[in-house]
Amino acid sequence: MIEIDVVKRIKTASGEVDMHAKVDIEKGGFCSLFGKSGAGKTTVMRLLAGLTDPDDGIIKISGKTWYDKKNRINVPVNKRKCGFVFQDYALFPNMTVRRNIEYASVNKSNVDMLIDMVGMTELKDRKPATLSGGQRQRVALARALAAEPEILLLDEPFAALDADMRNTLQNELKTIHDKLGVTTILVSHDKGEVFKLTDKVYVMDDGVITKVGSPEEVFTDNTISGKFKFTGRVLKVEKADCLYILTLSIGAEVGHVVATHSEAHDLSAGDRVLVYTKAFNPSVRKI
């Protein structure tokens, strides 16, 4: 269990405000901080990592207190077990992929497993300069995990990548999280990413958390009227004539929806979707 309740005066686009973040995450959970740039998301990450001190509050990670203003506890940066992945890779340029990961690792025997998990086995002897952006982020993720952190902090990790690579890495990150169960906080301003990866989202605006809930609760309520709407997952997208047939799983059921180009062109298997129709359309029959 992770409990964060911190206050810090920060400068935002609308002047100085008291940032107040109260975040609780279950062990092994995957939550996100969502909001415009300057909303205070990165400040929360910096406070957690110990790179900045709050003005007041407490930070408790799995029963251990990292920060407590009243009791004057402030665990230094190097003693906080935080894994970090930023938008810019920050790898050691003079070290190979393997050395970069090994350098951070707590347990050397896990290094090859982590390299394999992020799909970098073939490239493990390369230096960062010869890798693509997506490959460097894979290394950065493996390096962050090698330190066996209590909490993994991802600050817009895929924002600099193109859409295809971003999508691939999101899927891989999801798989890795499911496998390792490291408690993770993701900073993002991409709704699709928040939906895909996280089970809880904190929306920040001007330093304050304005909404908390599952991505469905936070993003789909009231944006479209309708009493007949569900979230589902795309299983298959098939072109049929000038239309598309989507196979969707909704709850425990599988159904088909005819979609037009504008609805289906950016969908692929695995995407989460909102399925809605006017309450006038469905017909019912007693069974």
36: buried, middle or exposed (CB in 10 Å: 19+, 13-18, 0-12)? Answer: middle
Residues in a beta bridge with 17: 10
Site string for another protein, 193-222 (x = CB under 8 A): -----------------------------x
One of 70, 71, 280, 284 touching another protein (CB under 8 A): 280
Q: How far apart are the first and last CA of the chain?
A: 45
Minimum distance of another protein from residue 219's CB (angstroms): 10
What SS3 state is found at 147? coil
Our finding on whether 262 is near another protein (CB under 8 A) is yes
**Alpha-carbon span 152 to 43, nearest angstrom:** 15
Choosing from 77, 224, 252, 287, the residue that interacts with another protein (CB under 8 A) is 224
Whole-angstrom Cα distance, residue 11 to residue 110? 41
Tell me the window of 34-42, 49-57, 202-210, 276-284 that interacts with another protein (CB under 8 A). Answer: 276-284
CA angle (139 as vertex; 171, 33 as ends), nearest 5: 55
Rounded Cα distance, 18 and 23, in Å: 16
Segment lying near another protein (by CB under 8 A), choices 31-39, 79-87, 169-177, 255-263:
255-263
Does position 278 interact with another protein (CB under 8 A)? The reply is yes
261 binds another protein (CB under 8 A): yes
Contact mark string toward another protein, 107..126, x via CB under 8 A:
--------------------
Find out whether 19 and 33 touch, Cβ atoms under 8 Å.
no
- Which residue from 70, 225, 283, 286 is in contact with another protein, where contact means CB under 8 A? 225
Interface with another protein, residue 230, by CB under 8 A: no
Residue 283 within binding range of another protein, rule CB under 8 A: no
**How many other C-beta atoms can be found within 10 angstroms of the C-beta atom of residue 120?**
21
- Return the residue of 71, 78, 109, 223 that touches another protein, per CB under 8 A: 223
Nearer to another protein, 252 or 280 (CB): 280
- Residues facing 201 on adjacent strands: 32, 213
243 lies in the binding site for another protein (CB under 8 A): yes
d(CA 101, CA 140): 8
Binding site for another protein (CB under 8 A): 222-227, 241-243, 258, 260-263, 276, 278-281
